[in-house]
Structure formats: C-alpha cells, structure tokens
Amino acid sequence: MQWKQTAWTLIPVAGMSMLTVLFVVLWQAMVDQTASINRLQQRLSDVEQSLHENPSLSTELLGQQLKQVQNNQRELEDRISRTARQQSDLLRLEQSLRQQTPAPEPFEITPAPPLTPIP
C-alpha cells in the first residue's frame, strides 16, 4: 500500500520535471530561431545598403542571374530534345516489333457438351 502512495507521489514530480525540461528546450529553440532571423535580417539590410551605395553591383547581380537563367533554359531544352528523341526511337522500335510479329490466330472456344444426369 505504501508503494502505491509513493508511486502516485512520484508521478507529479516526474511530470513537473519533464515539463520544466520541455519548457527550457523550447525556450532555447525560440531564442536560437530569433537570433537566426535577426542575423538574416541584418544580412538582408547589408545587401540592400550595398546595392543602394553601388548601383553597378545590382547590374552585375542581374547579369549573373540572367546567365544562370539562360543556362537553366539551355539545359531544359537539351532535356526536352533528348526526351523527344527517346520517345521517337521507342515509337519506331514498337512499330518495327509490330511489323515483325505475325498477327495472332483467332482463338476458338468449343462449347462443352451438355451435362447428362446420372441415374
């Protein structure tokens, strides 16, 4: 009987301890997240400031982005043309296989004889 009382006493203590640890962990995660967001905002403001101070830098960045977009477009066009070639090759292969294989002969089903009752 005394063991049951001790167990019921330990459950709230253990629960409070776990909740305290959970709160501390969540609080630390929120602090880390806030610090990360602040660093990103600072970097963004630094980039914006450097773009305002040096307009040629923004032109340079736009040029780099344009080159990257053009490269991506070329790669996509290459993929599309390769896919189209593969598809046409597959169609030709399928047609040649159809021409090489003879048409199957029709399959005839013969009806089963009627059942005769057993005397």
> pLDDT digits over 51-93, tens only?
788 777 778 888 899 999 999 999 999 999 999 999 999 999 8
> Is residue 6 pLDDT above 70, yes or no?
no
User: Distance (Å, rounded) from C-alpha 67 to C-alpha 73?
Assistant: 10
With both helix axes pointing from N to C terminus, report the angle between 2-53 and 55-100 in degrees, rounded to the nearest 10.
110
Sign of CA dihedral 47, 49, 52, 55: negative
pLDDT interval class at 103 (50, 70, 90)? low
- Sequential DSSP letters for the chain: -HHHHHHHHHHHHHHHHHHHHHHHHHHHHHHHHHHHHHHHHHHHHHHHHHHHH-HHHHHHHHHHHHHHHHHHHHHHHHHHHHHHHHHHHHHHHHHHHHHHSPPPPPPP-PPPPPP----
From residue 113, alpha-carbon distances to 106, 108, 109 in Å are 22, 15, 12
- Contacts of residue 51, Cβ cutoff 8 Å, sequence gap at least 6: 57, 58, 61
The band of 49, judged by pLDDT with boundaries at 50, 70 and 90, is confident
